[in-house]
Amino acid sequence: MKKIYLLSIIFATIASITFANEVNVFSSRHYDSDIQLYEKFTFKTGIKVNVVSGKDTALQKRIMEEGEDCVADLYITADAGRLGAFQAKGLFQKVINSSKVIKILVPVNFRTDYWTGITKRARIIYYSPERVSLNELNGMTYEGLADPKWQGRVVIRKSNNVYNQSLVASLIQNNGKNFTAKWAKGLVSNLARDSKGNDRAQILAIAAGEADIAVANTYYLALMLSGKKGVEQQEAAKKVKTFFPNQQDRGTHMNISGAGVLTHAPNRDNAIQLIEFLLTKKAQEHIVNNTFEYPMIEGVKPHDLVVEMGLGFKQDLKTKTSSYGANQADALEIMLTAGWK
């Protein structure tokens, strides 16, 4: 009887050790380089990283349906609006500020008590140097995209794109709903075509002469210039130039890829430890050199293709990224009402 009792204790201990030495990540990011980074984390800490990848809607549905039985510890995604939506549904623990590392390394506007940014991305304006002069762009802002001088010259993704929703949410935060509603109607009037395609499709539209200016995230241009999307897209990318809006006021719109610890996380401490690892200098260097994003922490140089776009631009450090999720519903309503398809 004593032997059985002792064996039970041994097996329970082994099980608890195994359980304590893992972290379960649900991620909507699609980079192989992320997996490589998790492997480095395991090598350093001995904590195994189990990854479930998928689209945000599918992952969120699974987390909500499984409730307390869900094994997910950490949710990683692109866009602060998505993180805000998770927070609003009560899916994150209020534990981020318990980490001194995160509080020191991540600026306050890129985190909340429930989630934190890991990398940054800028949503900027692209233009054709053949058809748009720098004088025409002088002092250009996101608000200026509604100026009638751009009629029939602008391309941008559909209203259901979360990056656009976050951009419009930031406009609401800075200018109010009434102004943003008028702005959205002006933007729609300026479109060269119905919105379609991904961010790279907007850049390609400029290169093809279908539009003069476009809105897209910076890392997409770098991806095209790298040749990873083929020679045709690489050559097209060389035909456009970048412009960072709102340099004379709040700065260029910034978004994040980020993470939050889930409410029923069985390995909470390991999840926090993984976030802290992702914010180390070596991890940040690994990320930016594979994804072309901007580092979250100071002292890390972005990829050379990103550096060539310019690093001296003023980032919007005034607008809290938490406002993207808070204003997301209003943003989508405004976009749809304006006829933004």
Position 10 in a domain: yes
Position 311 in a domain: no
pLDDT in tens, 69-123: 999 999 999 999 999 999 999 999 999 999 999 999 999 999 999 999 999 999 9
CB count within 10 Å of CB 208 equals 10
**Separation between Cα atoms, residue 289 and residue 307, nearest integer Å:** 11
If asked whether residues 329 and 215 sit together in one domain, one would say yes
Q: Are 182 and 195 in contact (CB under 8 A)?
A: no
Position 307 in a domain: no
**pLDDT given for residue 16 in this prediction:** 37
Report, in angstroms and rounded to the nearest whole number, the Rg of the chain calculated over CA atoms: 22
**pLDDT given for residue 20 in this prediction:** 61
pLDDT in tens, 64-80: 999 999 999 999 999 99
In the numeric block, which tokens belong to residue 214?
Answer: 């476009």
If asked whether residues 271 and 248 sit together in one domain, one would say no
Q: Is the per-residue pLDDT at 6 higher than 90?
A: no
pLDDT bin (cut points 50, 70, 90) of residue 12 is very low
Position 314 in a domain: no
Position 312 in a domain: no
CATH number of residue 99's parent domain:
3.40.190.10
**Separation between Cα atoms, residue 169 and residue 161, nearest integer Å:** 12
Q: Is the per-residue pLDDT at 11 higher than 80?
A: no
Helix, strand, coil content of the chain in percent (nearest 5):
50, 15, 35
In the numeric block, which tokens belong to residue 39?
Answer: 């492997």
**pLDDT given for residue 280 in this prediction:** 98
* Residue range of the domain that includes 172: 122-253+320-337
Give the lowest-confidence range in 17-21, 32-36, 70-74, 262-266.
17-21
Section 46-71 average pLDDT: 95
If asked whether residues 33 and 55 sit together in one domain, one would say yes
If asked whether residues 25 and 106 sit together in one domain, one would say yes
In the numeric block, which tokens belong to residue 165?
Answer: 């929703």
Section 284-303 average pLDDT: 98
If asked whether residues 22 and 94 sit together in one domain, one would say yes
If asked whether residues 37 and 64 sit together in one domain, one would say yes
**Separation between Cα atoms, residue 240 and residue 318, nearest integer Å:** 29
pLDDT bin (cut points 50, 70, 90) of residue 41 is very high
If asked whether residues 61 and 173 sit together in one domain, one would say no
**pLDDT given for residue 18 in this prediction:** 40
Q: Is the per-residue pLDDT at 1 higher than 70?
A: no
Section 276-293 average pLDDT: 98
In the numeric block, which tokens belong to residue 223?
Answer: 């991806």
Q: Are 86 and 226 in contact (CB under 8 A)?
A: no
Q: Is the per-residue pLDDT at 131 higher than 90?
A: yes
pTM of the model: 0.92
**pLDDT given for residue 4 in this prediction:** 38
If asked whether residues 282 and 142 sit together in one domain, one would say no
Q: Are 228 and 143 in contact (CB under 8 A)?
A: no
Section 154-182 average pLDDT: 98
**pLDDT given for residue 13 in this prediction:** 32
If asked whether residues 79 and 201 sit together in one domain, one would say no
Classify residue 113 by burial, with Cβ atoms within 10 Å: 0-12, 13-18, 19+.
middle
If asked whether residues 263 and 242 sit together in one domain, one would say no
CA-based nearest residue to 183, from 146, 149, 139, 142? 146
If asked whether residues 238 and 221 sit together in one domain, one would say yes
If asked whether residues 160 and 248 sit together in one domain, one would say yes
Please give the tally of structural domains in the chain.
2
Section 133-162 average pLDDT: 97
**pLDDT given for residue 223 in this prediction:** 97
Section 273-292 average pLDDT: 98
End-to-end CA distance of the chain: 71
pLDDT in tens, 200-233: 999 999 999 999 999 999 999 999 999 999 999 9
